Amino acid sequence: MTDNNLFSDLPQLEKYKKADFGKCPRVMCKSHPLLPMGQSDNPNVKAVKLYCAKCEDIYNPKSSRHSAIDGAYFGTSFHNIIFQVYPALIPTKSYDRYVPRIYGFRVHAPATLIRWQNCQRDEMRKRLRKLEIESGFKDEEEEVEPEDSEEDEEEEEEGDMDALENGEMEGGELNNQV
């Protein structure tokens, strides 16, 4: 069997070209056609999945008729064989990634990392509380906010400044001169 005979009569190649199996739901793939694939070569293990060659990811089929097909029908290597036989069908890899922006400005990468770390820490706290394990984390409620003491000091300084402007205080004492 030659390379040309292997897939020339298969309707799957034409279905791939027409995107009959579906299009990639990822925006950056720009509706690239999907190929069916199985996650197991053994029958009745998993239903068929759809493979995008551009982002190299696997998706669940939207159509109920696709989800009823056994993945072993296509096997784990169907899409790889097609691309070995027809290397011209291999798409260029998509290096475009979504960049989160706020009002046109990119979100600072360390800020994203910090948000992720905070989320992970909060989830860990919840799991530890559920298991009633002392976490060693300092809770937010127990923290003394230094802002409160600074505000009190600022209010005292403002009161002292008003007294100095009115001539009521001098050197920290009341001025009784008329």
Per-residue pLDDT of 115-136, as tens digits, reads 889 999 889 888 888 888 876 6
Provide DSSP, 70-86: BGGGT-SSHHHHHHHH-
pLDDT category of residue 155 using cuts at 50, 70 and 90: low
Residue 120 is predicted with a pLDDT of 92
Residue 26 is predicted with a pLDDT of 87
E-strand ranges in 29-172 read: 34-37, 49-52, 57-59, 101-102, 105-106, 169-170
Mean pLDDT (the chain) is: 74
Better pLDDT: 2 or 44: 44
Residue 140 is predicted with a pLDDT of 53
Q: Is the pLDDT of residue 91 over 70?
A: yes
**Tokens linked to 31:** 């509706």
Q: Is the pLDDT of residue 142 over 60?
A: no
Q: Is the pLDDT of residue 35 over 70?
A: yes
**Predicted model pTM:** 0.53
**Tokens linked to 7:** 């897939």
Closest C-alpha to 150, from 162, 161, 158, 142: 158
**Average pLDDT of the residues in 46-60:** 88
Better pLDDT: 77 or 8: 77
Residue 119 is predicted with a pLDDT of 92
Helices (H), 11-145: 11-18, 64-67, 78-85, 109-130
Residue 172 is predicted with a pLDDT of 45
Tell me how far apart the alpha carbons of residues 40 and 141 are, in angstroms, rounded to a whole number.
51
Residue 139 is predicted with a pLDDT of 59
